[in-house]
Structure 1
Amino acid sequence: MSKLPDVEALALFAKVAEAGSFSAAAEDAGLSKATVSKAVGRLETRLGTALFHRTSRRLSLTETGVVLAARAARILAEGEAAEAEAAAEAAAPRGRVKLAAPMSFGLRHLGPALPEFLQRYPDISVDLQLSDQTVDLIAGGFDAALRIGALVDSSLRARRLADVPRLTVGAPAYFEKHGRPEHPRDLKRHACLDYAYMPGGAGWRYVHRVDGREETVKVSGPLVSNNTDVQVPTLLAGLGVAIAPEFLVADELADGRLVAVMTDWSPPPIALHLVTPPSTPRPSKVTALVDFLAKRFAA
């Protein structure tokens, strides 16, 4: 005899005992009558005794069947309760979500958005890790990540949230002293603040907004960093020019402390994506965060 009980057969036996017929039990379980009959027969063979008296007109429990029916009913009820509880647990958004995001975007936009999410879902906690370096979601155990730029891992599930315009910017005092670049080639004679994770890596790439011409120029300057936020004070000090995402310098552009130049040329377009591992189905806690961030940042 197998060490594990035949729970399925016990559950179907309980349904037959309760319903008083194989047909009614099969309909209630959503199975064929033959499947239910085989399961009960399998249980009788396993136990070495009959559980029902069968006649053409009547189905009744044997003495052993009466004893077993009460316990089988409890097993069925416990199984149904356990499944219902597990389903409710899976449906209710709760637990920890591990999220990765770029540093500057995380500080300026994701951080201010999180209080609303945490108030809306008090049973969810967020483990947020900010870095401009692309993390491995699978190896790092991340549930989701916000990414700005071109996506390279096609195995991930990606949701495009918004375009991220990038501008060539500097302080008015810098351009008064050094002149305004009109063409990407002009940047060779300017102090350029470079970003270590610049897409492409071989130089600053531009596309002409009208005719689509492309130019790539190698630049040099007093500062290279792996985070664009730290370049802003140097820009404001009038010490150079940089390519910056619009969300990072919007306030400085609005009040005139920085200005955009070479507006006929733009770096290749990038976008904000929300990516998750390819596993399905997605846990409800992750779905809650994904849907919240998608709605928040798509605007």
Structure 2
Amino acid sequence: MASTASDGRPRQRTLASAVTVQGIGLHTGIPAEVRLSPAPEDHGWTLVRTDVEPPAVIPVSVRHRVETPRCTALGLRGVTVMTVEHLLATLMALGVDNVRVEVRGPELPILDGSAAGWVEALDRAGLVEQAAPRRLRRLSRSIWVGDADRFAAAMPWRDLRVSFAFISDHPGLGDQFAELTVTPETFRREIAPARTVAFAAEVGRLRAQGVGLGGSLDNVLLVADDGPVGGFRLADEVARHKLLDLIGDLALAGPLAARVVAVRGNHALTARLVEAMEQVLEGTEGKEGTDAGHR
């Protein structure tokens, strides 16, 4: 059971040791190496591109989001790291407050298309508590973004609870819905194993556009006209992977307590939600945030 700081709040946590993960980028097809290292209290989450000179330090913040198709990317002064959402979701859900993410390559590895590999990496590293209290951010009021076809809403809540409605006329899928309160246990069991989805009918077009160059049956859930190739790993796996992406994009606001509902959402819509949330988010327990990490 986690201990608490002197004011009764849970303590911050970081990694007990460094851990390295290697793999291929889903969209670039370029091999990448990621080293996750412990970081001091109040450091937050930072990305460091170590394959450029000088190394580029990119704070995890919606202010550094770079518009990129089919993934979430962060950048600073022309240096970008793509497909960060699965790692950020894992850090958020498992309660890692401070970490330095060193990346060799333009994109984080996709691993098997899910967050299970990131969970395994953090388990290998281990987590340790720090003296400072966690700085959870809370909404002061409800907000909504969207249009007639899709929307996302967030409201004050005691913890992080997320819902996603996937609405589709695809003959092999249909509609799916997933909802849960995010804890380390629910994330491990019900979200982390859900894989990135690719539709067979769009693969050729996407690759012609330079997207999904590293995709294969080893790292995507491929959906053909008659349904998923090889079957689902989880019930409602598409909606559950959408929850994974949603949590990772919400992490651009930092450790968060909120009730978030998305209908036909995507990365761009969640980014709009986070940008709107920043106007009504209380800072780190009432203090204004900074541009360091996710603070």
Q: Which has the higher contact order (CA 8 A, sep 6+)?
A: 2
- Relative to the length of structure 2, the TM-score reads 0.20
TM-score normalized by the length of structure 1 = 0.20
Query: Comparing both structures, which one devotes a greater share of its residues to helix?
Result: 1
Greater radius of gyration (CA) = 1
More strand by share: 2
